[in-house]
Chain A
């Protein structure tokens, strides 16, 4: 079951399944460690939201976060 990232709640952990949108942006996120297959934790939902990805904290806007499809990990 895939969800857009902006539907995740605080504290939930998920694995990134797919990132769509502008190729430049997808590349930029990959540079920051956010890419298909990586694990993330939502620290603070909303816009901008706060994520923990591979030991670092990233913030994204809600509109951009919905381009990221994730698979929740329990």
Chain B
């Protein structure tokens, strides 16, 4: 699960929350009540136990496993950097990395542009706007497995998509059967399933932009593009930054669609890092190596998030 916090509401209550907590803490500083601490601990205990067993433990173990040759039902021994050496020599890993990065480079901008476009189009209130918003959000609540099953047929050899392409004079073929077009096809499914989410995030932010700002720009004679470029866009910047981070993280973890639509093929053209992790871990049960793939994915996510922070988030 990717866990991210969004939107103005939690952020605001966070400031307030910290204040309240410090205040109440100060007030009670002199009389630490044993009984209170006891009950509080009991309240936290179930959560804590679960976290120790299924979050903290695995997080540490996940790192350690990458340095072992653990296979299921077998003994594990410490193999040092062997898994990582193997990773570097493994052409499948590099191809999976490449596929994952290309997927992200295609899907993140596309999905953000679609989100922004739909947010701007449904920004104002007019008859039917609620219906449109509901429609655009529907794919977000739909399982990617269902989407994958259906889109397999949308992209079939003589399916609607190849007909559409044929109508535009492009070769009418199954995109899923072609090693160059399979990734764009998967990107389209991903964008279809994600843009409604980005749209809502941006809509929430758009509704907070003070009307006066745009009115002022309007009375200065700014064109629609200028108003968007110099008023709306800067206001949206934090939301867009946030969206970029989420979309990137998500796109690095693409798995469900690949599993259903292509199985990583053709010729590993849609074989992503998480798919490799799955196959190594749960088809060949080479869990040590799979953990090494997971760590590589983690490192990659962190590096990209830092780069995004330094470039996109610079002016915050």
Q: Do A and B come from one complex?
A: no
Residues of B participating in the A interface, judged by any CB pair closer than 8 Å: none
